[in-house]
Amino acid sequence: MATFHIPLGSDRSLGELFSAMPDGPKTVLKEGFSIVSRLQESTHATLVEQTLAIAGRGGGKVQPDLAKKMGLSTREASSAAAATGTLSALLSGRKEGTDEVIQALVSSGLLATSAVPSIQRLVPLLLENKQNFGQLLKEKYFSTAVLPSFDEFEAVLDIRIGDETEVGLAVPVAIAFLDTDANGQRLWFQLTKDDVEEMLRKLNSLLGRFKEAEAIAARIGQKSGGA
């Protein structure tokens, strides 16, 4: 898929921005909005919640239990969140209302006429949360300004069975995959049980320091705001 950088604060109309998108992102958005249009309105709040959560993480998938809550597969829910996330990012620094947003989506071919009623009920909820979404984007851009950022981690457990020269030998090994938001910056590697235990120890220690740092950052923010 072609890379598309969301132009926050652009002077161009929404219709122009949508029309200028490469074919790859357009296809993703079309599919996402098509899935969103099938959702019950009662699930819109869950979708927006997940969209905000994914924005805060800088990407990723919707959790299976929340996808099930919306009546979707994990892939469908993630596609729906990607579409609403892109739209929310564009709206975060703009002043268009619901009707203008719908018109831009339809005129650019991203939204089928049959899907308008459902998306028309969702857009006001996105507009209500655009300040929260904009803040998440600012924080994410600030935190990822220098190096590639974590995107996804997956691991499966494998049992290595010895061959005819190593009869009776069986060793469990984890096969792990680490992805980042930079092109080509991904890694496959092996982990033993000792590696996993050591990683958990270090991650728990890091999590504790994160909590301490968040408390310090909150105090700094309060002082700056009160100055």
C-alpha torsion angle, residues 130, 134, 149, 145 (rounded to 10): 160
Q: What is the pLDDT of residue 98?
A: 93
Residue type, 107: S
Q: Report whether pLDDT(168) > 80.
A: no
Residue 174 tokens read as 């984890």
Residue with tokens 């301490």: 212
Domain boundaries defined on the chain: 14-143, 150-226
Cβ(57)–Cβ(9) below 8 Å: no
Mean pLDDT confidence for 105-109: 92
Residue 48 tokens read as 């927006």
Q: What is the pLDDT of residue 162?
A: 72
Instruction: Give the pLDDT confidence of 62-106 residue by residue, as tens digits.
Output: 778 888 889 999 889 888 988 888 888 888 778 889 999 999 999
Q: How far apart are CA 167 and CA 211, in angstroms?
A: 49
Q: What is the pLDDT of residue 5?
A: 52
Residue 24 tokens read as 């790859």
Residue type, 71: G
Q: How far apart are CA 74 and CA 61, in angstroms?
A: 7
Instruction: Give the pLDDT confidence of 2-42 residue by residue, as tens digits.
Output: 344 555 555 678 888 888 888 888 888 899 999 999 999 99
Instruction: Give the pLDDT confidence of 151-163 residue by residue, as tens digits.
Output: 788 899 988 787 7
Q: What is the pLDDT of residue 100?
A: 94
Q: Report whether pLDDT(145) > 70.
A: no
Instruction: Give the pLDDT confidence of 178-214 residue by residue, as tens digits.
Output: 888 777 778 999 999 999 999 999 999 999 988 888 8
Q: What is the pLDDT of residue 179?
A: 85
